[in-house]
Amino acid sequence: MSEKTVYPFGGSASHDDTRQKDKEVTGGKGANLAEMASIGLPVPPGFTITTEECVRYLQEGADFSDGLRSDVAKALTHIESAVGKSFGDSADPLLVSVRSGARVSMPGMMDTVLNLGLNDATVEGLATTSGDERFAWDSYRRFIQMYSDVVLGLDHGLFEEALEIAKEDNGFYADTELSADDWKTLVGEFKSIVEQEWGKPFPQDVNEQLWGAIRAVFDSWDSDRAKVYRRLNDIPADWGTAVNVQAMVFGNMGETSATGVAFTRDPATGERAYYGEYLINAQGEDVVAGIRTPQYLTKVARENAGAKPLSMEEAMPDAYGELARVFDLLENHYRDMQDIEFTVERGKLWMLQTRSGKRTAKAALKMAVEMVGEGLITKEEAVARVDPMALDQLLHPTLDPDAERSVLTTGLPASPGAASGKIVLDADTAEVFASRGDKVILVRVETSPEDIHGMHAAQGILTARGGMTSHAAVVARGMGRPCVSGASGVSIDRAGRTLRIGSQELKEGDEITLDGANGQVMLGIVPTVDPELAGDFGTLMEWADALRRMRVRTNAETPDDCRMARQFGAEGIGLCRTEHMFFDARRIRAVRQMILAEDEKTRLSALDQLLPEQRGDFAAIFEVMAGLPCTIRLLDPPLHEFLPHNDEDFEDLADATGLGVDHLKRRADELHEFNPMLGHRGCRLGITFPEIYEMQARAIFEAACAVQKSSGEAPLPEIMIPLVATRKELAILRALVDRVAKTVFEEQGTEVAYLVGTMIELPRAALMAGEIAEEGEFFSFGTNDLTQTTLGVSRDDSAKFLAPYVDKGIFARDPFVSLDVEGVGQLVDMAAESGRVTRPDIKLGICGEHGGDPASIAFCEEVNLDYVSASPYRVPIARLAAAQAALAAD
């Protein structure tokens, strides 16, 4: 019960407790700092407060426990003795950073506070011990700025403005031109801003500073920003964040000091080349904040970019050599590409962070495949490592290399892919435009965590400032959005909602195209070409296919979709909906005639018109799916959905049928339903209008026989009766299908194999599955309806309350996106089990949207389904997820 609340790292700390290297306990940053320290890398000493303490603090109404207070005090002495300085000592002060760190990196969390422990007295001590007064006052002003922003919640614009004015007054361009006295004056101004805005003087008590920062980290777990990010990334609300307090090392101690961020391989392309940026005489966030333009890490990268300022390799060869050694060491240790943050203090390298780096899907594939080749990882690990959802980025079109491009300006190729859309200048507008179906490009000076929702709504992101590791670049790569950053040819007039790109004047709503692979920004919409499915993609998918047990089918109802799905590797159709085939303008008239007919004769004449059309539909699909199983669902939606909508529809129908408009309207009124989703639909249609299902069955069998004759490759039709609740319904309709099959086979003088089965999508069907299996040769879990009917939640009306439900942790994820495994999953498990008892060779699959969701696919593996079915673009995702599920099950 009395687990440790605080874990010291670095210095003489022992890192033996396994909990310390467990991200769930110490967060990603804390766990990796301990790991790096334990393998002997230079990590400034510090300590980590556990995520458990954060959860406890939030549960107990934002209160620190006494235990935590004394544990932190003790851990602080660990840092003091390791560094040989005391916290708050005005002669030789220890300064620390306070850093948040959840299990996974979260841009929504509190920003880091650096140089904590400075006050009016300790700043003098720092000046003396460092022998650099300018450095001391620069650090103090940074501290006030950061603390005021992230802990006190004051408007950071006020401080930036004061700094801008100071620079202008002196005719300075860069921060580095300010002298010790300039910074001293500015500190005075900063302090009066704080007093004015906050109502109290800037805290001078170093312990008050420390606890204020710890509190701010804990509180930030429940900030709006963090909540949005959690929702978008399916991060549970009960994880909490750890806090890392760490001795400062200084990259701002003059020309032999620097700070930087790096990747051990190129996170955009996956190429095996060190990749990163650094800044001389700078601290922490300067690199990513886009305040100064960072310099390249390697000579090659600098030369390729045609840049002048020296690379780190050239300017600081010793520190660079050490860094390169650490890169290789870390990559071998973690057996993955690492994203690294470091600082050089007067020539000495210090490691401040490492983690497995975010990467584009393309890079993820390349690295996974190459690391297998290098012997660093196994094929299984390669397959397990690529995020299936990320594949989506690769399946979509890229810019047509032959298309004409009217290039307005070029920025940095921060995240690859092509994106076209209307310009929007802020995140909220992006959301509004996107919600009405517009494709948008978010254009900002630079992005911050407050922009996440807009970045998500946008097709692509363009920023005027910021490097390859800026917020925009990192987040866009993570989200799979194309991004061009640091396009200095872009200038934005936010008030006027206009902008200039290169020499072109544009306004919000105008269309542009981004090429994230080369940084080009183009006028208008540039045409695209289809993706390349061979190469690394093909290799990894081959490995995945060899590892998976479940089959992967597709949900498709047009020959084009089927063709695409087969290119993506579909092994059959899991759900062919037939209702969409009825909506075509010509056919809808016959459909309406059919359902509004009062006598069988009129109905049959309408069905006669539909039969050849349906037969043609199925034949075209069967040709594409040659030889593969095709589950075809007989008509399912409420008749209601086919009713005429307006007078024009009625008149058109009256002309076609010879029936009066009034008569038709009366009949339509009779068919009107209050709750159509629970109304006259599914097999209830087949029971009440057997002619409809007869026509469909006939169309299927005739088409199958025809394809069998013409190509010799009959598909395996699996005729699926929807919305069955009782054995009797299925028995009646199965007899109907068998009867039609027999007739058609006699007429055609040939036979094809087929199955009849049902969708399990009502709780009663799941409960009675053992009995239903006596009539059905397969079950396909229709988890969309099964979720609606089990939860009693209408999918179409749930948007209003599901988001807050997810925020409050009532559901970990939207149950329509990811299967509610505990609830709905129990029904699936039970039905699969009792279905198998009745009929050991029963075929079991899933055809709801969940069939393309990796977490739901993992569940399907657990309950031993035979296949999953997903929309065409999700097929590769499902193949990879099924392989991962099989690996996890081993």
Q: Which residues are catalytic?
A: 471, 847
- Work out which of 114, 178, 297, 562 binds ligand ADP, going by CB under 6 A: 114
- Are the C-beta atoms of 372 and 378 separated by less than 8 Å? yes
Helical (H) or strand (E) element with 532: none
Nearest to residue 108, comparing CAs of 244, 291, 276, 233? 233
CB of 220 to ligand ADP, least distance (A): 11
> Is residue 339 at the binding interface for ligand ADP, with CB under 6 A as the rule?
no
CA atoms lying within 13 Å on the CB side of residue 340 = 34
Q: Closest Cα partner for 475 from 302, 340, 288, 297?
A: 288
97 binds, among Mg ion, ligand ADP, none (CB under 5 to 8 A by kind): ligand ADP
Q: Kindly state the smallest distance separating residue 51's Cβ from ligand ADP, in Å.
A: 15
Residue 429: name its binding partner from ligand ADP, Mg ion, none (Cβ under 5 to 8 Å by kind): none
- Cβ proximity to ligand ADP: between 473 and 619 the closer is 473
Q: Which is nearer to ligand ADP, 150 or 880 (CB)?
A: 150
> Least Å distance between CB 130 and ligand ADP?
14
Nearest to 873 by CA among 617, 573, 555, 632: 555
Q: How far is the CB of 414 from Mg ion (least distance, A)?
A: 17
Query: Applying CB under 5 A, does 353 fall inside the site for Mg ion?
Result: yes
Residue 265 DSSP one-character state: S
438, burial (CB in 10 Å: exposed 0-12, middle 13-18, buried 19+): middle
Q: Within 518-577, which residues bind ligand ADP (CB under 6 A)?
A: none
Kindly tell me which residue out of 284, 357, 460, 574 binds ligand ADP, with binding defined by CB under 6 A.
Answer: 284
Q: Total residues at the site for ligand ADP (CB under 6 A)?
A: 16
Nearer to ligand ADP, 280 or 653 (CB): 280
Residue from 5, 48, 50, 112 binding ligand ADP (CB under 6 A): 112
Q: Which of residues 216-275 bind ligand ADP (CB under 6 A)?
A: 246-249, 259
Cβ proximity of 414 and 483 under 8 Å: yes
Dihedral sign of CA atoms 617, 623, 624, 627 in order = positive
Cβ(311)–Cβ(296) below 8 Å: yes
Considering only residues 175, 339, 341, 446, which one is a binding residue for ligand ADP as defined by CB under 6 A?
341
Q: Is 393 in the site for Mg ion (CB under 5 A)?
A: no
**Whole-number minimum distance, CB 287 to ligand ADP, in Å?**
7
For ligand ADP, the closer of residues 80 and 370 by Cβ is 80
Q: How far apart are CA 184 and CA 180, in angstroms?
A: 6
d(CA 427, CA 456): 9
Question: HEC string of 771-829?
Answer: HHCCCCCEEEECHHHHHHHHHCCCHHHCHHHHHHHHHCCCCCCCCCCCCCCCCHHHHHH
Give the nearer residue to ligand ADP in terms of CB position, either 153 or 535.
153
Q: Is 829 in the site for ligand ADP (CB under 6 A)?
A: no
Question: Should residue 99 be labelled a site residue for ligand ADP when binding is judged by CB under 6 A?
Answer: yes
Q: Are 699 and 632 in contact (CB under 8 A)?
A: no
Q: Which of 248/390 has CB closer to ligand ADP?
A: 248
**R_g (Cα) of the chain, nearest Å:** 32
Query: Could you give the string, one character per residue 96-125, with x where binding to Mg ion holds by CB under 5 A and - elsewhere?
Result: ---------------x--------------
Does position 138 bind ligand ADP by CB under 6 A? Answer: no
In sequence order, what are the beta bridge partners of 55? Answer: none
Contact between 285 and ligand ADP by CB under 6 A: the answer reads yes
DSSP string, 179-209: -HHHHHHHHHHHHHHHHHHHSSPPP--HHHH
Q: Point out the residue whose Cβ comes nearest to ligand ADP.
A: 284
- Residue number with CB closer to Mg ion (220 or 856): 220
Angle (CA) 650 653 655, round 5°:
110
Give the three-state DSSP class for 275: strand
C-beta of 284 vs 482, nearer to ligand ADP:
284
In whole angstroms, give the CA distance from residue 28 to residue 690. Answer: 61
Q: How far is the CB of 111 from Mg ion (least distance, A)?
A: 5
Q: Which is nearer to ligand ADP, 277 or 336 (CB)?
A: 277
Length of the chain in terms of residues written: 890
Determine the number of helices (DSSP H) and then strands (DSSP E) in the chain: 34, 33
Other CB atoms within 10 Å distance of the CB of residue 532: 12
Minimum CB–partner distance for residue 186 and ligand ADP (Å): 21
Q: Cα separation of 74 and 88, whole Å?
A: 15
User: Does residue 470 bind ligand ADP (CB under 6 A)?
Assistant: no
44 binds ligand ADP (CB under 6 A): yes
SS3 at position 695: helix
Which one of ligand ADP, Mg ion, none interacts with residue 249, CB within 5 to 8 A by kind?
Answer: ligand ADP
**Chosen residue from 145, 343, 420, 614 binding ligand ADP by CB under 6 A:** 343
The only residue of 5, 26, 32, 97 in contact with ligand ADP, by rule CB under 6 A? 97
Q: Which does 284 bind (CB under 5 to 8 A by kind): Mg ion, ligand ADP, none?
A: ligand ADP
Residues in touch with ligand ADP (CB under 6 A): 44, 97, 99, 112, 114, 246-249, 259, 284-285, 341, 343, 352-353
Residues in touch with Mg ion (CB under 5 A): 111, 341, 353
